[in-house]
A and B are shown apart, each in its own frame.
Chain A
Amino acid sequence: DARVTQTPRHKVTEMGQEVTMRCQPILGHNTVFWYRQTMMQGLELLAYFRNRAPLDDSGMPKDRFSAEMPDATLATLKIQPSEPRDSAVYFCASGLGPRGGEQFFGPGTRLTVL
């Protein structure tokens, strides 16, 4: 059963600490998306990659957020330093890009910054 996996599922940290979230896309998918979900803003696209190359990270605060794909099976989202306003659920999704269209979401990482 192919699915997107994310770790950790929950993270509680203190303001100023570094947070790293990891995502394993579905094998064979060439497009990876990072979203943030909050009650106020809903689902927001932070960044996305195609064939491991960053295509768009305009939704991401550049001063503290960074996203990478070290290889085709791993995507990471880092926040350094974290702030209370970063508290949210972060989702990774993978797909086949415009050719396929479908995006499949992981279970999310619930981040709480105290």
Chain B
Amino acid sequence: GENVEQHPSTLSVQEGDSAVIKCTYSDSASNYFPWYKQELGKGPQLIIDIRSNVGEKKDQRIAVTLNKTAKHFSLHITETQPEDSAVYFCAAADSWGKLQFGAGTQVVVTP
């Protein structure tokens, strides 16, 4: 089955700096890669996603890149703000739509 690895497990950045989280996956058949943000006491919230026919996608301060050959994808947050502090999860979906999640990255943005 699919295995998703996520790094780093924790990331501390100064407000205004960029944050990058990287994930690798094992199943070359995976075709959908969402990113979720989870705040304390809440459910994961879908923030951006990318499909296997696209290499890069951007939405305001967040962007995701996908390298299918290398089987890795990354989340980039620019101009970080304190409200970006949360746990971020990457995931990979198989053709049935089942998601395998990474272990999560705790992002702390310090003012």
Contact = CB atoms under 8 A, between A and B. Distances in A.
A98 B98 CA distance: 8
Contact of B34 (A43, A48, A97, A102): A102
Contacts of B36: 105
B43 A101 contact: no
A15 interface: no
Given A101-B49, A102-B34, A48 B43 contact: no
Interface string A73-88: 0000000000000000
16 contacts: A42-B102, A42-B103, A42-B104, A43-B101, A56-B96, A56-B98, A91-B43, A91-B44, A93-B43, A97-B97, A101-B49, A103-B97, A103-B99, A105-B36, A106-B43, A107-B43
B94 to A, nearest CB: 9
Q: Lowest 3 CB-CB distances: which A-B pairs, in order?
A: A105-B43, A101-B32, A43-B101
